[in-house]
Amino acid sequence: MNIFIPKARRPTFELHLKIQDLANIPLVTGLVFIKWNVDGIHARDCSGQTNGEPVLEHKVVWDYDATTIVRFVVDNTNTLRERFLDFHILSESYSNSGATRLGVLKINLAEYVGVGLDSRKYLLADSKINATLRIGIGLKQLSGTENFHVAKKLGKPQVFSGLTGLLTEGKEIKRRDDEAAIAPGLASNWAEKMLTSIKDFNQKSSMFHMHTRNNKYDTKQIVDDIFFWWIWLGRKACIIGNSG
């Protein structure tokens, strides 16, 4: 128990949390909100919730900031123990029919020690969709020993460049397609054909874009929108086919 650990070995940090946006959401309308809490700490200011914000063009944007105090523990090997920040992402319709969970996210705050304020995107876990949550986290030490090391340092940010970027990366999408009981090899072959079709469409739409006035058309956005619905309808068809 922490009560038997010397105070000096329980460094205290100020946590600054920014919840910025959720992208690639398979919803046209509705509200999305996020609940968060620091795991293992039951103080009221170590948890919170964003407002429900509307889905616009498959994206939700917040202007949410929170600041709280987080205590870590330094063990006998001078390693800073893990302390997790949990997120639950939920959606609800305008008809107030109840909230639906879109996914969760668990972040080890120890990895952010000594990094400064860092903003990056994370792919939702325990989710049937490929939405990415962009958050900013900063930790400033207030007291306690500084003689410690972090077992796992913060890695490079994952690269997400819209839905076409997720397809190019491919690994997480293929894993989730396998979980949906798509036959082995079908997902990767289908993805390759889809990407070829998208590139062909992008070339043709770019030529059309060059001849439009005032540059009203954003071809990348058009491609992402069309690809989004192909992904969504394709998965629905596969799930229905396997259930039959």
Structure tokens at 191: 């993805």
The predicted-structure confidence for 75-128, as pLDDT tens digits, reads as follows 999 999 999 999 999 999 887 778 899 999 999 999 999 999 999 999 999 998
* 3-class state of residue 22 by DSSP: strand
pLDDT at position 228 over 60: no
Q: Which fold has domain 2-160?
A: Immunoglobulin-like (2.60.40)
Residue type, 11: P
* 3-class state of residue 39 by DSSP: coil
Structure tokens at 138: 């900063």
The angle at the Cα of 236, spanning 218 to 199, to the nearest 5 degrees, equals 30
pLDDT at position 33 over 60: yes
How do the domains of the chain map onto residue ranges? 2-160, 165-243
pTM of the model: 0.66
Q: Which residue has the higher pLDDT, 211 or 223?
A: 223
Rounded CA gap, 208 and 46, in Å?
52
Task: Count CB neighbours of 239 within 10 A.
Answer: 14
Q: What is the DSSP letter of 181?
A: T
pLDDT at position 187 over 70: no
Q: Number of helices (H) and strands (E), helices first, in the chain?
A: 4, 11
The predicted-structure confidence for 46-88, as pLDDT tens digits, reads as follows 999 999 999 999 999 999 999 999 999 999 999 999 999 999 9
> What DSSP string describes 75-119?
-TTSEEPP-EEEEEEEEE-TT---EEEEEEEEEEGGGGTTT-SEE
